[in-house]
Structure 1
């Protein structure tokens, strides 16, 4: 097979372009709410703005400045081909934007943050090129995404819910009724999705099977694009774009060879730098503690994995009119006639901001808290805080709340909430 001719500086430009495309697909997260008509949806910072001496207005200005800095730095990286200074700006700006609104902590934003640190911290030669060592770390991170993502799906919740949706969506195009299959057959078929993803990771890990892994990764991401598209499950644009980015990245990182100057020194893993190694080790090790609650689900690459912790909210019918009209799509009908309606925070995120909600009880509790306060419905909501589910049984620990004091007590266990 003919080696692909591509430069390492070109990869930096590629990821800058990818980041711009992802931000464009999720622009309601990054632009001022007054520009996008999403003023009703509360931002959830990681700290109390008032205690930091920031007003909502000043936080909004800082947030917009961070977004603008990312965009300018990405264009500068694309225009210059390589740069020592744009990636620190992107890393700091991404961190700032996320601290001011945790909803921006999408998995691709975290991935971009990791890459930005690696590009910023890694030593460069006299011409400004990154060493092969840095790209080995990026390949290692990429493989870890597939490993953790697949392992997270060998789970009761995935096999019985999202896995079944993944199975039904493509087969219904050819008029195959999956519901008629025996339960065991459907579960085994759903397990084939994470099994294939794990095979992708294994194939990409070995030089002899790497090109097979590239083709497998491409097929997997294209399949996900089809399943998640409007003709399938109808997921948000950002999810579709990220799968396209990952498919192209597989070719850039693992296919063929990178061709540089003849006098380029032999790759040395020590040239990656101590900070780069520290970042990669944290990114590789911390996902192990995700189920125990010490690492966020998305930061552990728990993608399309419904085992995540969450907050369930119910709202009394007398309070529904106090919510914005567009939010009604996130409120279900009163099927049991008890005058209480499920209020789906995940659906609310899709309706208003067109992006998935952060699948984390910490974020969802803080979001519910802000919604309750700004709507003045303290005494007409109830719900529960649920832990991550058991891998084998799907069961969760639950903490119910019906009063404001119980709700506040449930939130005291969370870190990084305002």
Structure 2
């Protein structure tokens, strides 16, 4: 086990994991014309026309960058040349997200952080990264479980997604949780984040680390079962990421620390103070900024708010008279007129899953920009209405809401965001 769990092979494992995750979410990375996702607009961080990039040029650059990431991953796996491949991957992932915020999936952010740390890590003559880089990666991994768990001790999770997590497996054995007292169901839902927090604590100390590895494995296998087509039917990318995280727990935490490969000829070269400072600064940002998620200064997914419905959002409704102007592919996301007022919900999450096969970014900034492009693309500016909602209160589940019914009110709502085109 020790000889196989080497540092170089972990880097190769993560390169393979990145390829697998990109394959599972291929509609995010390949040209829209190849995947049939042409009706779903890309949402860049800013108006790319301001730097002279037309839409066609942006699509070409995006395709080239995807190819660069794939080649760099195969260089790491096949040739073991990680020294220069990881900075290329880090830069390529960052550019990809700038071109389309939909790519800012949690595992993309995680891969970017790893790529930065591998770039800054001192290496020996054979190119093997040093142990301190992996200590930082272990710290990041533990933080994922901590922030993910803390984000679920929340009114919205306990009353919605937590109940779904509880209901899905128990209904297979004929147990109807709806008959349970409300307090019992809430405590049962709270057991999910409580278990995840115990995983994080167990991974922190050497005496309990193997217990933490087994607990993490059980948690991810349980999520795979609940989120599978037999359960809640989540997207393939979510399933693959849970597999990757389960394997990573064994690779990073089981047994002794990762050893250098046997062909390493010397110890790591001294690292400059700047590279060391940047590595610690990267980790410090990743550990500190999630604290500001609820106040809107950090993205929910970047704060590891996973399966947690407290996120900010945009609700969009289209008038009945404008439905025929929507592309046929969008009709799957149009809700029924349940209150007979001739207004229909256009569910952005359902639209994302149907066309791109991944969940929509749970962020009001992204969803506002997406709604803006959908409205402009369809020419229905005067036939839509909706609201922008803040992240919910942890204890009451209440949100601040900003309703809009006119184009100027909608545009005014978007002025609060920094990174929108």
Which TM-score band applies after superposition, normalised by the shorter structure?
over 0.9
Which whole-Å CA distance do the structure 1 matches of 2:402 and 2:2 have between them? 56
After superposition, the Cα gap between the structure-2 partners of 1:266 and 1:54, relative to the gap in structure 1 and judged at 3 Å, is closer
| 1:91 aligned partner | 90
Which whole-Å CA distance do the structure 1 matches of 2:73 and 2:259 have between them? 24
| 1:360 aligned partner | 363
After superposition, the Cα gap between the structure-2 partners of 1:373 and 1:213, relative to the gap in structure 1 and judged at 3 Å, is same
Give how far 1:5 is off: 3.5
**Native 8 Å contact 1:309 1:359 kept in 2:** yes
- Is 1:410 the counterpart of 2:413? The answer is yes
Which whole-Å CA distance do the structure 2 matches of 1:300 and 1:264 have between them? 38
Which whole-Å CA distance do the structure 1 matches of 2:195 and 2:272 have between them? 33
Deviations 1:54-82 (A, max 9, x none): 00000001101110000000000001224
**Native 8 Å contact 1:13 1:82 kept in 2:** no
- Is 1:287 the counterpart of 2:286? The answer is no
| 1:208 aligned partner | 207
Give how far 1:342 is off: 1.1
Which whole-Å CA distance do the structure 2 matches of 1:303 and 1:233 have between them? 15
Which whole-Å CA distance do the structure 2 matches of 1:114 and 1:384 have between them? 34
Which whole-Å CA distance do the structure 2 matches of 1:13 and 1:19 have between them? 10
- Is 1:37 the counterpart of 2:36? The answer is yes
Which whole-Å CA distance do the structure 2 matches of 1:270 and 1:254 have between them? 28
| 2:73 aligned partner | 74
Alignment TM-score, normalising by the size of structure 1: 0.97
Deviations 1:185-237 (A, max 9, x none): 00000000000000000000000000000000000000000100000000000
Instruction: Indicate the SS of the match to 1:230.
Output: coil
Give how far 1:3 is off: 4.8
Q: Which region of structure 1 is more displaced relative to structure 2, 318-327 or 191-200?
A: 318-327
Which whole-Å CA distance do the structure 1 matches of 2:269 and 2:135 have between them? 10
Runs of 4+, deviation exceeding 2 Å: 2-5, 257-272
Deviations 1:80-107 (A, max 9, x none): 2242100011001101110000000000
| 2:133 aligned partner | 134
**Native 8 Å contact 1:133 1:270 kept in 2:** no
Which whole-Å CA distance do the structure 2 matches of 1:56 and 1:266 have between them? 45
Which whole-Å CA distance do the structure 2 matches of 1:259 and 1:51 have between them? 49
Aligned length: 417
- Is 1:339 the counterpart of 2:331? The answer is no
Instruction: Indicate the SS of the match to 1:62.
Output: helix
**Native 8 Å contact 2:93 2:108 kept in 1:** yes
Give how far 1:266 is off: 9.8
Which whole-Å CA distance do the structure 2 matches of 1:33 and 1:17 have between them? 24
- Is 1:349 the counterpart of 2:352? The answer is yes
Deviations 1:231-266 (A, max 9, x none): 000000000000000000000000012333598759
Give how far 1:184 is off: 0.3
**Native 8 Å contact 1:97 1:104 kept in 2:** yes
| 2:393 aligned partner | 390
**Native 8 Å contact 1:82 1:129 kept in 2:** no
Give how far 1:52 is off: 1.1
Aligned-CA RMSD value: 1.7
Which whole-Å CA distance do the structure 2 matches of 1:217 and 1:267 have between them? 34
Which whole-Å CA distance do the structure 1 matches of 2:346 and 2:23 have between them? 28
Structure 1 gap ranges (5+): none
**Native 8 Å contact 1:107 1:299 kept in 2:** yes
| 2:281 aligned partner | 278
Which whole-Å CA distance do the structure 2 matches of 1:112 and 1:282 have between them? 15
**Native 8 Å contact 1:155 1:307 kept in 2:** yes
After superposition, the Cα gap between the structure-2 partners of 1:43 and 1:241, relative to the gap in structure 1 and judged at 3 Å, is same
Alignment TM-score, normalising by the size of structure 2: 0.96
| 1:314 aligned partner | 317
Deviations 1:269-315 (A, max 9, x none): 99972211111000000000000100000000000010000000111
Give how far 1:268 is off: 10
Which whole-Å CA distance do the structure 2 matches of 1:259 and 1:301 have between them? 29
| 2:383 aligned partner | 380
**Native 8 Å contact 2:314 2:389 kept in 1:** yes
After superposition, the Cα gap between the structure-2 partners of 1:269 and 1:141, relative to the gap in structure 1 and judged at 3 Å, is farther
Q: Which region of structure 1 is more displaced relative to structure 2, 252-261 or 171-180?
A: 252-261
Give how far 1:360 is off: 0.2
| 1:101 aligned partner | 100
- Is 1:160 the counterpart of 2:159? The answer is yes
| 1:239 aligned partner | 238
Structure 2 gap ranges (5+): none
Give how far 1:327 is off: 1.5
Give how far 1:43 is off: 0.5
Which whole-Å CA distance do the structure 1 matches of 2:82 and 2:167 have between them? 46
| 1:115 aligned partner | 114
